[in-house]
Structure 1
């Protein structure tokens, strides 16, 4: 009996090295199964580049997600990019693992003039960035008394905009230009404490700068500068645009500083100027870069959203009528719309939310980078991986948003016409401004400003097309991709409304 027991123990001991060898062979295979799936048909050197037209990459990614799953990897020349395409994976990355996904990838475009070290948008997650975000958020003051400040700033600018539109008479005009000017002036006041005439050199310079940066820093064709090394040398189109954009930015900033030196301490940039030399690592280059980030992010997005809404309303006249009925009820006798009325205008709120979902105007958000090894939807993602949040796919997911290409504000309303609360699935799944540690600082500012512009415009005017047969496609899949999606140009007429009591 004792001999049998000893023999059995010896047999077990002899199997231990064998079991260890088997485990060492099986373990990599198991872990390999948890690697992010790669889009197939990769070519040597270029990877998936030939399969991916960059000006439609958000749409292609969405189509691939139906075939390969919500999480996959693409390779563009020397860069591997993990793409997250549904709410669950994006929410897991931004919220549940927010500290891990809070980085920004190194990019040739943001390395120029060390923008990545000073930017509030392109800088990876550092203590300097934490400080900048805190101070910018504090100076925007978009709660409590800050809302009254926003109204006070917007009111004269909106009245000027109304007068300008009224001067058009029955002449058709492109709304994008005048929307840009007005939104830009509101933003300039908050950033610098200054206002300029719509035809001023400063506004025209910002318009040109915005166009160049939109072409250069989006996920579209400008991305080639990051992934094709030889484009960084010589004078190709992308390099020329980038150099021109940075040159225009520097000239504008130098001119502003030369004339005004210190800006109002109540403004965002003036507040940052007061922090220089306090051991905060904030210097003149940091302040210039923050101005660039905030003016670009805060103007084109809202101005384009307004243009898109007008285009949508031209194709859905009943929605324009319904909005105007709600405005007349809540703001009778033509009284200037106030932010305090937002809670009494659920349909307008739903229209704005649906607008942001429908156009998803920054479809891939700003690229993220993992600060350490991570896991999303059970897949392993290496540290320092570039990660795209495909908000476009999430906001047009048919399993979440039935008939996603239909503009339907009722998605955000209950059966009584009341707005769904913040915890309702339709509200939680709307991630236009991102989430977590890198959520857009201007979310509240942007929504309140958009509300004021929409209500004032539709209180005073009814918009009709110059020629219904010449309207561009309203479907956002036809929009041009840059940093922000833009519809094709169009022209409208603004009919003055009779104020109803």
Structure 2
């Protein structure tokens, strides 16, 4: 009885707050259009099971700039290139911070990471550390051999599978994680195949992405936060404990001197050194900040790349003529007596177009990480109030029929000379396709992500022909998306790789 009374009291309190807030926040200027909010929960029910799909449908009705009320929070959604540019270029400084959210609080060490840190000196310090020691042109070149070695190990693992069915995404995740770990930690963290820890880690990352993509009611109706109605907070705390245990073991091993096997200075050693001699603004690094940064890098730098490559291979299986064209380009430029290397990528325009088209149709983060406005501003003639949360529907922008011919078709030639967008890149300069975001909060690892995805796709195209498991016809391949912060496949890609090069090529890699 006491619980029912408490719930009734909470509901009445929430209703009163909702009415007062709506009376208080009637804006003298025009807000962008949008669907009528429900009492208390606002437009949360409009988000549906896959929010970037639902928001794209709403944008088709209300326009490319929408205003929503999610609980008590003003939310603006950008769904066209021109509107996104006004937020992420013209008003980038105003939208430089992240809004409060349960994921940052309960998983990302209470905003001590790079991704969710408030804009300011400590964020700049963390970004500078990553930019200088991990993602600079020199750092990327210094560790090029590591990426190529790990990709060669992947090809041997695929050869070793024989006639077995391969879950491609799982092997790709092991490859990207080990490649990043060797740079970050000086060593691999998973064995080549069949590593149960690798399976567990991938599951942890996917679970994190699913939880981070949830719209937690408590984030938008603070009075209900303590109830944890959806059970999200409980799951986040449990997952955080798993990641924290994983990262503590890595940190302690490294401090003891047992984690260094690389001949190069690794990032974690640099971070530990910076604990006593901080690099630049923001003060010294703590163990928590180091773990939070490692968490960002492991999550954002592994599954996003591996899932993008998985989508690319799925599209090429569905379009065998394109796969053949890409293989012919590879044979002409690289030949069949060695594995493709990063230095070859600039001479493979069709391969690069395939990667761009994959980023367009299957952006790793379809709904951008949210930002919050630090002051009032005007966009497209509409008033955007201070404190508004910004969501950029990257997925919808890249499928906008006003910007793209036949936007739902996988057509890499659109990025080649003579195509509709020959000069468009994916580095945040052209807002028609911004898979890494844009502006000052653009993904810090964009250069590494591009290199890794291009190298993996190039290698898989060069070294194998692909058949689907159980004799499935390519046109029947399930291309549905799963729910989450990142764009996972609803069904993992199950394949039989068929080697197309001489055996010695795979061994020499």
Question: Match for residue 20 of structure 2?
Answer: none
Q: Would the alpha carbon gap of residues 243 and 31 (structure 1) be closer, same or farther in structure 2, given more than 3 Å must change?
A: closer
How many Å separate the matches in 2 of 1:48 and 1:470?
41
**CA radius of gyration, larger in:** 1
Question: Match for residue 22 of structure 1?
Answer: none
Secondary structure (helix, strand or coil) at the match of 2:378 reads: strand
Q: Would the alpha carbon gap of residues 412 and 427 (structure 1) be closer, same or farther in structure 2, given more than 3 Å must change?
A: farther
Asked if the contact 2:427–2:438 (Cα under 8 Å) also holds between the matched residues in 1, the reply is no
Tell me if 1:66 matches 2:60.
yes
Please identify which structure carries the higher helix content. 1
Question: Match for residue 433 of structure 1?
Answer: 436
Give the alignment partner of residue 301 of structure 2, picking from 298, 302, 317: 298
How many Å separate the matches in 1 of 2:94 and 2:187?
39
Gaps of 5+ in 1: 1-29
4+ aligned runs moved over 4 Å, structure 1: 199-202, 262-265, 416-419, 421-428, 470-476
Question: Match for residue 460 of structure 1?
Answer: 463
How many Å separate the matches in 2 of 1:89 and 1:137?
28
Question: Match for residue 211 of structure 1?
Answer: 206
Tell me if 1:449 matches 2:449.
no
After superposition, the C-alpha distances for 1:107-149 in whole angstroms (9 at most, x for unaligned) are 1332237734311001121111011111111111442x43433
Question: Match for residue 34 of structure 2?
Answer: 38
How many Å separate the matches in 1 of 2:219 and 2:424?
41
Question: Match for residue 482 of structure 2?
Answer: 480
Q: Would the alpha carbon gap of residues 235 and 64 (structure 1) be closer, same or farther in structure 2, given more than 3 Å must change?
A: closer
Question: Match for residue 275 of structure 1?
Answer: 274
Tell me if 1:254 matches 2:248.
yes
Secondary structure (helix, strand or coil) at the match of 1:117 reads: coil
The RMSD of aligned alpha carbons is 2.8
Question: Match for residue 7 of structure 1?
Answer: none
How many Å separate the matches in 2 of 1:448 and 1:497?
23
Asked if the contact 1:115–1:122 (Cα under 8 Å) also holds between the matched residues in 2, the reply is no
TM (normalized to structure 2)? 0.85
Question: Match for residue 152 of structure 1?
Answer: 145
Offset of 1:366 from its aligned partner? 0.6
Tell me if 1:392 matches 2:386.
no
Aligned residue pairs: how many? 466
Question: Match for residue 44 of structure 2?
Answer: 49
**Structure 1 residues 31-40 or 152-161, which shifts more?**
31-40
**Structure 1 residues 241-250 or 346-355, which shifts more?**
241-250
Asked if the contact 2:85–2:431 (Cα under 8 Å) also holds between the matched residues in 1, the reply is no
Q: Would the alpha carbon gap of residues 106 and 425 (structure 1) be closer, same or farther in structure 2, given more than 3 Å must change?
A: closer
Secondary structure (helix, strand or coil) at the match of 2:211 reads: helix
Offset of 1:419 from its aligned partner? 5.5
Offset of 1:497 from its aligned partner? 0.3
After superposition, the C-alpha distances for 1:441-498 in whole angstroms (9 at most, x for unaligned) are 111111111111111122111111124547697686x301212111122311111103
Question: Match for residue 238 of structure 1?
Answer: 232
Secondary structure (helix, strand or coil) at the match of 1:462 reads: strand
Offset of 1:361 from its aligned partner? 2.5
Counterparts of 1:301-380 in structure 2 under 5 Å? 301-380=304-383
TM (normalized to structure 1)? 0.86
Q: Would the alpha carbon gap of residues 423 and 178 (structure 1) be closer, same or farther in structure 2, given more than 3 Å must change?
A: closer
Question: Match for residue 409 of structure 1?
Answer: 412
How many Å separate the matches in 2 of 1:289 and 1:107?
16
